[in-house]
Amino acid sequence: MAAKGFFTDTTICIGCKACEVACKQWNQLPDDGFHFTGMSYDNTAELGASTWRHVSFVERPVALSTQDAGAFSWLFSSDVCKHCARAGCLESCPTGAIVRTEFESVYVQPDICNGCGYCVVNCPFGVIDRREDDGRAWKCTLCYDRLKDDMTPACAKACPTASIHFGEVEDLREMARERVEELHGQGMNEAYLYGESKESQPGTEGLNAFFLLVDRPEVYNLPPDPAVPTKGVAAGWRSMAFAALGLMAVAVGSVLASRNGDAA
Amino acid sequence: MAECHPVGFRWVMKAKERGATIIHIDPRFTRTSAVANIHVPIRAGSDIAFLGGIIRYILENERYFKDYVLNYTNATAIISDDFQDTEDLDGLFSGWDREKAQYDPKTWSYKDAAVSPAAGVREGHTGQPDTERAQQSSEHHDPTLQDPRCVFQILKRHYSRYTPEMVEEICGISPDMFAKVAETLCRNSGRERTSAFCYAVGWTQHSIGVQYIRTAAIIQALLGNMGRPGGGIMALRGHASIQGSTDIPTLYNLLPGYLPMPKSKYDTDFKKYIEEGTAKSGWWSEFPKYAVSLLKAYFGNAARKENDWCFDYLPQLTGDHSHMNTVVEMADGKVKGYFVMGENPTVGSMNGGLQRAALSKLKWLVVRDFSLIETAEFWRDSPEIERGEAKPEEIGTEVFFFPAATHTEKDGTFTNTQRLLQWHHKAIEPPGDARSELHFIYHLGRRLKALYRKSRDRKDRPILDLTWDYPASGATEEPSAEAVLKEINGYTVADGKLVDGYTSLKDDGSTASGCWIYSGCFQGGVNRTMRRKPGSEQTWVAPEWGWAWPSNRRILYNRASADPDGKPWSERKKYVWWDEDKKEWTGFDQPDFINDRPPSYRPHKDAEGTDTISGIDPFIMQADGKAWIFAPDGLQDGPLPTHFEPQESVMKNPLYGQQCNPMRMEWMRKDNRYHRAYADDRYPYLLTTYRLTEHHTAGGMSRWLSWLSELQPEMFCEVSPELAAERGLKNGGWATIRTARTEIEARVLVTRRLRPLRINGRMIHQIGLPYHWSSRGLVTGDAANELISFVGDPNVSIQESKAFTGMIEPGRRGRIAKIASPVMPDNHELYRDLPSVRMKLQDNDGFRSGKKAIGSDRSSHWEEGD
């Protein structure tokens, strides 16, 4: 089956947070507590065990190139699990709780997860998180249950401005590239895609949930050059093998040397 | 719009994707500004100056749509020789009656021809509607627009001083920015293009709110943006069916379909009511058909011609019973009982202290809501109780709380901003004792009827004769919402057959209809509000999605989309046109015109009723068929919008000696203290209130929900970094905001989205206050509306909550707050009104607002026989 995912176009987002609420309602997630952060209109602060969509609000002292509003702009971006082509969480999961589904999404099976937390440190985006009360790891499922019934994920369904597009990743990529061209044509030259392909983001080999951004990734609290830690494992084993061989050579050499010495 | 109408804003974003320019004018940089092409920060309360500047720009640069203006507006009409403008009288129009503190609109009329307004106040100065005034139109015109007494020239003079420099001085908007907005708007209007205005309570909630909208109407009439696709003035309503609640009104002065409520002073019998409500020309000449059909729907067989269709069963108004007046009466002990349904006035309405003082004087209070909102709990949880000023055991009000069903738990319709009725089906049963409003009202009516069953008293006949036979089903006996909608649609009395529309309604008692403008929603016996045909399967006008009143028209007055000859103004903006072969109007939408009336038709001099509507009169509800650039009647506060400062302002009115709207409603009472008109150094900052996407109004629908509460968990105020520095406020810390009414505390959000305006070398700071919180629910905080006084617009009695003054200080509020300030400004130089306005009203005929007396102990003006 073709990979399914999200294309989140932040230039259409109006920061209404309908995605956050629809996600929580469909997935029956608890609130994250009632804390006034003082960070613009963002009071849920980050993705976590019970917040699977999160809208960040960025107040910048920089104008958008297509806007006449003084040296200021307000960026919104609805963040979500990226369902990486190479997923650090999945590859580090020792129990097999995290699987790749028929939609190429990354899914945590809550009945198998034992709460070891390896996945948490292996996600380069800080998406997956353990819930304090039950200790297990939770994140966006790409609404696996809805997809099984051929329904759109709750967040994309609720998005009033169609900033969140859901569909086959290949189609979304094409749509996204066209959108960037269109924006460039309108003079918004700062628009670019984040994580839409293996080539542009080798550290994850591309994201099944990618973004259209208008400033550096760090501005949106996204890593500029994310890399799945497990991606280094093969190289790690290789160098370890070399190191072991080297050590062996030294050991053998020193034994031989000592023998030679004995002989001497 | 993105903040409060995110779903409707989808279409704005679609338009933007297709190349539309979005201009956002707001004191704050909001979620709408974030995606707009241009954001224009404006001083709250100064929009008429800005829009007036645009009118001047249009006129000075000859940017108006000449063919449209000449044919479809009253720009050519000659106004009475006695008319004097605010330019002549330093902020007053002619006709100011110093003793009555109100206008006599006689001098505003067309020369030699008075005309009755399609809406608004029709009683005029005397308190009596003048049936002789119902002439068809202006007798004198100047098609060259050169006559100094014609509307066009009056308009030009009226706005001659609204220059870009003046706009800068009043609004804090630079001439460059002003020119950019004005030019963008003009360039995007005309034959080939149209522009739309969207507004919400940021425009209405002012002591001159109605005139804000009027100013936009003048611009749209001048630019030819009415009755055409992509044009119009969109009133974004605050709730899913607020449009519905004015169509089938919860307003005290209207009956369904904008029929006036009878007034005890002069609607003494049916004949008079009909005479006074019927226009001699235009569509309101059909008034008797709608009034009789309504009475037939109410009283069925009991309503007969001989008994004036039971007209005397209707309650009659003895005075102004709008919200603020009612609350003041309540506070003075003159109201016994109060129903509060789907509203939370101690949080959502102004001056919470006065609201609660009023509730505590009631004998009984009924609250219907999802949760125990603050209005239901006022007797045991309030700032007054916290401060020790009130004690629960001393409040005698008996409170009845009824849990309410949500819209997913009941059948019914929503009527949205576009006048579109959309049916919603019940998805689940309401929990526990929760019931629909329909259930509550229906069973209340049934019980009342049962109580009076044996009465032979004539005064009880209205209850006994009321038709109240809706089928009910299920264990809870839920009445059928569809049966109610059928009655609203209307039927022929003889056979109960549903009528096809309001043109089928009669004034002979043979038809009944609960609301004439909704007639046709059940055309052909089909509930048309249920239609859900996707846009992709029908024309772009999408007439088969829901049903729009009247007659499923999607754009009102759409005759204006064609030129005087009946041809589309342009291919690009083609909408409705005259088919010469078929001799009828046709197009993409239902033509809003008499279908077979050719563009060439001109009424005979003696024509009456709808025969007076000429082939080039698109605005058929108006007695003269024209868009009123100049309103010769119907408005209490003048024929042309004029910039006045809010009741409490940070500056003196730079345009006129008259500081505020002379007709504003005021309540001079100890429990409703005002600041000085301007330069009150105790209250140096400009305050404005608003909603956030995450919450709904007074919080009854959002503060009890964890998923919404966590998104905006605490009351906060928004201040600029400059104001934060000036007042020592820290982001995330506490601030106390104070007015003469009370003080509240809030978290501080320091943001560049609020920008101080530099006006005449002075920094004007604006403070933003969302108003969603109070003491109950999952998330709490002080209510912003506690700070606001009772001050109102004279036409619609709406409060002024979008611009007032106050003080801000770092830190939390004192738990015992005693606010000391004089009832009246003690400095006579700081009066709001010219000497000629200052005299206070001594007597009142009951239907004008004007100014109220000082002191809560004074007897009301509104008592019968006054």
Question: In angstroms, how far apart are the furthest CA atoms of chain A?
Answer: 87
The predicted-structure confidence for A163-211, as pLDDT tens digits, reads as follows 999 999 999 999 999 999 999 999 999 999 999 999 999 999 999 999 9
Among all residues of chain B, which has the CA nearest to that of A70?
B39
The predicted-structure confidence for A218-250, as pLDDT tens digits, reads as follows 999 999 999 998 877 777 777 878 888 888 888
What is the DSSP code string of B669-730? BTTB----SS--TTS-EEEEEE--TTS-TTSTTTTT-HHHHTTS-S-EEEE-HHHHHHHT--
B700/B605 same-domain check: no
Question: Can you state the angle between helices B270-277 and B287-299, rounded to 10 degrees?
Answer: 140
Both structure tokens of B64:
């108006």
> What is d(CA A127, CA B193) in angstroms, rounded to the nearest whole number?
47
**pTM over cut 0.90:** yes
Q: Report the gap between the CA of B177 and the closest CA in chain A (Å).
A: 9
8-state DSSP, A67: -
Of the candidates B211, B76, B200, the one whose C-alpha atom is nearest the C-alpha of residue B144 is B76
CB contact under 8 A, B748 and A38: yes
Substitution target from B24, B710, B754 for chain A, most A beta carbons within 10 A: B710
CB contact under 8 A, A161 and B9: yes
CB proximity B526 to A under 8 Å: no
CB contact under 8 A, B778 and A41: no
Lowest mean pLDDT among B57-66, B136-145, B661-670: B136-145
Phi, psi (5° rounding) for residue B298? Answer: -70, -45
Among all residues of chain A, which has the CA nearest to that of B730?
A38
Quick one: CA torsion of B186, B573, B547, B551, rounded to 10 degrees? 100
**Helices vs strands, H then E, count in chain A:** 7, 10
CB contact under 8 A, A74 and B753: yes
Both structure tokens of B523:
């055309």
Of the candidates B705, B15, B32, B12, the one whose C-alpha atom is nearest the C-alpha of residue A76 is B32
Looking at the partner chain, which of B710, B714, B753 has a beta carbon nearest the beta carbon of A44?
A: B710
Note whether residue B830 is domain-resident.
Answer: yes
Note whether residue B603 is domain-resident.
Answer: yes
The predicted-structure confidence for B249-280, as pLDDT tens digits, reads as follows 989 999 999 999 999 888 889 999 998 888 88
Helix (H, G, I), strand (E, B) or coil at B502: helix
Looking at the partner chain, which of B9, B38, B692 has a beta carbon nearest the beta carbon of A14?
A: B9
CB contact under 8 A, B714 and A14: no
The continuous run of DSSP H or E covering A174 comes out as: helix A169-185
CB contact under 8 A, B713 and A35: yes
Residues across chain A: 264
CB contact under 8 A, A162 and B10: yes
B805/B730 same-domain check: yes
In contact, B159 and B87? CB cutoff 8 Å: no
CB contact under 8 A, B731 and A38: yes
Q: Report the gap between the CA of B439 and the closest CA in chain A (Å).
A: 29
pLDDT of residue B840: 55
**Chain A residues with CB-CB distance to B10 below 8 A:** 160-162
What is the per-residue burial (b if ≥16 Cβ within 10 Å, else e) of B691-725? bbbbbbbbbbbbbbbbbbbbbbbbbbbbbbeebbe
CATH topology for the A4-227 domain: Alpha-Beta Plaits (3.30.70)
Q: Mean pLDDT, to the nearest integer, of B301-320?
A: 94
**Chain A residues with CB-CB distance to B36 below 8 A:** 67, 69
CB contact under 8 A, B34 and A33: no
B828/B694 same-domain check: yes
pLDDT of residue B120: 66
> What is d(CA A221, CA A39) in angstroms, rounded to the nearest whole number?
13
CB contact under 8 A, A18 and B6: yes
Helix (H, G, I), strand (E, B) or coil at B299: helix
Asked if pLDDT for residue B857 goes beyond 50, the answer is: no
**Region label for B443, one of left (φ > 0), alpha (ψ between -120 and 50) or beta (otherwise):** alpha
Among all residues of chain A, which has the CA nearest to that of B10?
A161
> What is d(CA B143, CA B146) in angstroms, rounded to the nearest whole number?
8
Per DSSP (E only), the strands in chain A are 4-9, 53-60, 73-80, 98-100, 106-108, 129-130, 137-138, 164-168, 192-194, 209-213
Note whether residue B384 is domain-resident.
Answer: no
Note whether residue B487 is domain-resident.
Answer: no
pLDDT of residue A53: 97
**Chain A residues with CB-CB distance to B692 below 8 A:** 41
**Chain A residues with CB-CB distance to B731 below 8 A:** 38
CB contact under 8 A, A75 and B34: yes
Asked if pLDDT for residue B119 goes beyond 80, the answer is: no
B750/B605 same-domain check: no
Among all residues of chain B, which has the CA nearest to that of A37?
B732
B611/B723 same-domain check: no
Per DSSP (E only), the strands in B468-575 are 472-473, 478-479, 491-492, 511-512, 547-548
Asked if pLDDT for residue B864 goes beyond 60, the answer is: no
Asked if pLDDT for residue A122 goes beyond 70, the answer is: yes
CB contact under 8 A, B7 and A160: yes
B719/B809 same-domain check: yes
Looking at the partner chain, which of A14, A32, A61 has a beta carbon nearest the beta carbon of B35?
A: A14
> What is d(CA B866, CA B844) in angstroms, rounded to the nearest whole number?
8
Note whether residue B133 is domain-resident.
Answer: no
CB proximity B691 to A under 8 Å: no
> What is d(CA B239, CA B222) in angstroms, rounded to the nearest whole number?
31
In contact, B791 and B666? CB cutoff 8 Å: yes
- Interface A–B counts its CB contacts (< 8 A) at 111
Note whether residue B530 is domain-resident.
Answer: no
Q: Report the gap between the CA of A30 and the closest CA in chain B (Å).
A: 8
- Give the highest mean pLDDT range of A74-88, B116-130, B850-864: A74-88
> What is d(CA A195, CA A39) in angstroms, rounded to the nearest whole number?
26
pLDDT of residue B823: 47
Phi, psi (5° rounding) for residue B56? Answer: -60, -45
Residue B763: strand pairing partners:
B758
The continuous run of DSSP H or E covering A155 comes out as: helix A154-158
The predicted-structure confidence for B808-817, as pLDDT tens digits, reads as follows 999 999 854 4
Among all residues of chain A, which has the CA nearest to that of B712?
A43
Note whether residue B588 is domain-resident.
Answer: yes
**Chain A residues with CB-CB distance to B712 below 8 A:** 41, 43
CB contact under 8 A, A44 and B31: no
pLDDT of residue B815: 55
Substitution target from B707, B755, B778 for chain A, most A beta carbons within 10 A: B707
The continuous run of DSSP H or E covering A218 comes out as: none
pLDDT of residue B850: 43
CB contact under 8 A, B6 and A33: no
In contact, B516 and B290? CB cutoff 8 Å: yes
Grade residue B846 by pLDDT with cuts at 50, 70 and 90: very low
What does the domain layout of chain A look like in residue ranges?
4-227, 231-264
pLDDT of residue B121: 63
The predicted-structure confidence for B326-367, as pLDDT tens digits, reads as follows 999 999 999 999 999 999 999 999 999 999 999 999 999 999
Q: Which residue has the tokens 């920094």?
A: B763
Give the range of the structural domain holding residue B721, as residue numbers without chain letter: 665-838
| CATH code, B713 | 2.40.40.20
Q: Report the gap between the CA of B213 and the closest CA in chain A (Å).
A: 25
Both structure tokens of B109:
């009329």
> Which ipTM score applies to this complex?
0.90
Asked if pLDDT for residue B859 goes beyond 80, the answer is: no
Q: Mean pLDDT, to the nearest integer, of B749-772?
A: 95
Q: Mean pLDDT, to the nearest integer, of B717-728?
A: 98
In contact, A73 and B44? CB cutoff 8 Å: no
If one counts the domains in chain B, the total is: 2
The predicted-structure confidence for B369-408, as pLDDT tens digits, reads as follows 999 999 999 999 999 999 999 999 999 999 999 999 999 9
Per-window interface: B 693-752 vs A, CB < 8 A: 693-694, 706-714, 716, 731-732, 747-749, 751-752
Residue B233: strand pairing partners:
B197
What is the DSSP code string of B173-232? --HHHHHHHHHHHHHT-SSS----EEE-HHHHSSTTHHHHHHHHHHHHHHHT-SSSTT-S
